[in-house]
Structure 1
Amino acid sequence: MSKRVFVTGMGIISALGNGVLENRNQLEAGATGIKKATILKTRYTDIFPFGEVPLTTDQLLEMGEVIGEKGISRTEALAMVAIRQALKDAGLKQEQVEDYSMSLLSASTVGGMSRTDQLHKDANKLEPASEYLASYNVGEHTSGIAKRLNVKGASTTFNTACSSSANAIMYGAKLIKSGRATRAIAGGTDALAKYTVNGFNSLQILAEELCKPFDKNRVGLNLGEGAAYLILESEDVVGDKKIYGEVSGYGNANDAFHPSSISDEAFGVIAAIEGALETAQIPPEHIDYINTHGTGTPNNDITEQTGMHKVFKGQIPPFQSTKTYTGHTLGAAGAIEAVFSLLALNHNELYTSLNCADPIDDYGVVPINKYQDNYEINHVLSSSFGFGGNCSSLVFSKV
Structure 2
Amino acid sequence: MSDKIYIAGLGIISAIGNNVQECLHALETGQAGMANAVFLHTVHAGEIPVAEVKLDNDALAERTGLPNKTGRTALLSMVAAEEALNDAGIEHIHTLRCGFISATTAAGIDKTEKFFTDILKGNGKGDLHDVLYHECGSITQVVADKLNITGYTTTINTACSSSANSIMLGARLIKAGMLDVAVAGGTDALAKFTFNGFNTLMILDKEFCRPFDENRNGLNLGEGAGYVVLVSDAVAQQLDKEMYCELRGYSNTNDAYHQTASSPDGVGSYLAMQQALQAAQLNTNDIDYINLHGTGTYNNDMAEGAAIQRLFEAPYPKMSSTKSFTGHTLGASGGIEAVFSSLAVKHGLIYPNLRLHAPMQEFPFTAETRFSKQPVKNVLSNSFGFGGNCSSLIFSKL
User: How far, CA to CA, are the matches of 2:112 and 2:47 in structure 1?
Assistant: 19
Give the alignment of 1:1-399 within 5 angstroms: 1-66=1-66, 69=67, 71-93=69-91, 95-96=92-93, 98-99=94-95, 101-121=97-117, 127-239=125-237, 240-373=240-373, 375-399=374-398
- Three-state SS of the structure 2 residue aligned to 1:161 is coil
Per-residue deviation, 1:349 = 1.6
Normalising by structure 1, we get a TM-score of 0.95
- Three-state SS of the structure 1 residue aligned to 2:132 is helix
- Three-state SS of the structure 2 residue aligned to 1:71 is helix
User: How far, CA to CA, are the matches of 2:282 and 2:102 in structure 1?
Assistant: 28
Contact 1:11–1:83 (Cα < 8 Å) also in 2:
yes
Identity, in percent, stands at 46
Question: What CA deviation, in whole Å up to 9, does each residue of 1:210-260 have, x standing for no partner?
Answer: 000011111100000001111110010112422011110001000000000
User: How far, CA to CA, are the matches of 1:2 and 1:17 in structure 2?
Assistant: 34
Per-residue deviation, 1:129 = 4.7
Question: What CA deviation, in whole Å up to 9, does each residue of 1:140-198 have, x standing for no partner?
Answer: 11111122222211110010000000100010011111111110010100011101110
User: How far, CA to CA, are the matches of 2:82 and 2:311 in structure 1?
Assistant: 38
User: How far, CA to CA, are the matches of 1:182 and 1:274 in structure 2?
Assistant: 28
Per-residue deviation, 1:316 = 2.5
User: How far, CA to CA, are the matches of 2:386 and 2:254 in structure 1?
Assistant: 10
User: How far, CA to CA, are the matches of 2:231 and 2:15 in structure 1?
Assistant: 28
Per-residue deviation, 1:315 = 4.0
User: How far, CA to CA, are the matches of 1:128 and 1:372 in structure 2?
Assistant: 52
User: How far, CA to CA, are the matches of 2:64 and 2:172 in structure 1?
Assistant: 28
RMSD of Structure 2 on Structure 1 (CA): 1.5
Normalising by structure 2, we get a TM-score of 0.96
Relative to structure 1, the CA distance from residue 83 to residue 318 in structure 2 (aligned partners, 3 Å threshold; closer, same or farther) is same
Select between 357-366 and 199-208 the one with higher mean Cα deviation.
357-366
Relative to structure 1, the CA distance from residue 123 to residue 333 in structure 2 (aligned partners, 3 Å threshold; closer, same or farther) is farther
The number of residue pairs the alignment matches comes to 394
In structure 1, runs of 5+ residues without a counterpart are: none
User: How far, CA to CA, are the matches of 1:123 and 1:297 in structure 2?
Assistant: 37
User: How far, CA to CA, are the matches of 1:8 and 1:376 in structure 2?
Assistant: 20
Per-residue deviation, 1:121 = 4.4
Relative to structure 1, the CA distance from residue 2 to residue 233 in structure 2 (aligned partners, 3 Å threshold; closer, same or farther) is closer
In structure 2, runs of 5+ residues without a counterpart are: none
